[in-house]
Amino acid sequence: MLRIFRTNVVLQIFIILIVAVLMWIGVFIHPRPTPIEGGGQLYYWITGLLSPLASTIIAFVLVIVEGVLLNSMLYRHKMMTQSSLMPLLFYIVAMSIGRPTLTPMLLGSLFLIIGMSQLMLTTTLLSLDLDKIFGASASIACATLFCPAMAVFLVPLIANMFNFSLYGWRDWTMLILGILAPYIVLETYYYMVDELFYRNYLILYGLTDINWSVGGSLIDWIGSLIFLLLFVVGFGSTVINGQNKTINFKKNLTAILLFTVGSILFTLYTHIFPVHTQAFAIPFALCTTLLFVDPKRDVWWQNLIFVLVIVAFVIWNLI
């Protein structure tokens, strides 16, 4: 099975589509309403126009698109030695767990991926330009317009300024301007339609209107533990194996793994599910891919674990 994800693109696409359909078939038959808590103004504008079925279809397409963008980003910046679609597979799995629907996190993740792609070095780009800094901060700020709680991802963004040794005043000025830019546009619109104070109140309310309940059945907690165990093992393996890579690879890897801090903060802040798997989708997709896609290893037990993990997540969603 793992050899397929190193060589055969057609079979990879076929397997990914089967897994995606199986994980979403339940919500296509019985569409879930979109969440009424934790969203930003742009999120409510969009979902207010959609039926539950339309929201489900858009969410499914959005998961695929985001996974493709993430896979392309990792391959383009040589984070993988193989032309594998495994990051797309694991991203779909992480974003689809728990009866998926069009959540604020799902919409915000599109801009999070775009922002992260601005933080990646290449063989010709050895440091971040000012436009890259602005683009990264503006993209993550846009994510907060859909999901205010994603403001916690500004923490790893700021940490990456030190990761890339960006200490100049121009760098930090562009960072601040990027964060403010989407809000300046939005505030200008609110002012023009005479809704400035009311809309700002709703933005602040979105930061506090969070469901703090700890719920979930036994199977949810078991599935969450499997997800966490796989992520922790993959994270540790990625960090250890990354020590022997190039400087650019290490900086890019650090840039992505730092966003795990944002994932942890987001989960602690919202805690809508035993484990908010969507918050960990990006680092989870990278770490699990680097754990399994290794051209030097192709042993039967590794293939067995990979198959069992995918089957377990699919069954978790079908129960």
User: What is the total residue count of the chain?
Assistant: 319
Give me the pLDDT at residue 239, please.
84
Domain layout of the chain by residue ranges: 4-318
Q: Measured in whole angstroms, how far is the alpha carbon of residue 86 from the centre of its chain? A: 15
Amino acid, res. 5? F
Confidence at 27, pLDDT banded by 50, 70, 90: confident
Give me the pLDDT at residue 129, please.
81
Q: Nearest to residue 12, comparing CAs of 79, 92, 78?
A: 92
pLDDT in tens, 193-234: 776 666 666 666 656 655 544 556 677 777 788 888 999 998
CA distance 88 to 65: 9
Backbone angles phi, psi at 127, to 5 degrees: -150, 160
Judged against a pLDDT cut of 80, whether residue 28 lies above it is answered with yes
Confidence at 274, pLDDT banded by 50, 70, 90: very low
Give me the pLDDT at residue 207, please.
60
Q: Are 137 and 179 in contact (CB under 8 A)?
A: yes
Q: Which residue has the higher pLDDT, 120 or 54?
A: 54
Residue 244: HSE in the Cβ half-sphere, 13 Å Cα cutoff: 4
Q: Are 316 and 223 in contact (CB under 8 A)?
A: yes
The most confident of the ranges 217-226, 264-273, 287-296, 302-311 is: 302-311
The most confident of the ranges 49-63, 111-125, 161-175 is: 49-63
Which residue is it, tokens 């129960």? Answer: 319
Q: Are 109 and 66 in contact (CB under 8 A)?
A: yes
pLDDT in tens, 66-95: 999 999 988 888 787 667 899 999 999 999
pLDDT in tens, 145-174: 888 888 889 999 998 888 888 888 898 999
Judged against a pLDDT cut of 60, whether residue 275 lies above it is answered with no
Give me the pLDDT at residue 266, please.
85
Confidence at 184, pLDDT banded by 50, 70, 90: confident
CA distance 176 to 196: 22
How is residue 310 written in tokens?
A: 């995918």
Give me the pLDDT at residue 201, please.
65
| Phi-psi label, residue 71: left if phi above 0, alpha if psi -120 to 50, beta otherwise | alpha
Q: Nearest to residue 159, comparing CAs of 60, 265, 275?
A: 265
pTM of the model: 0.89
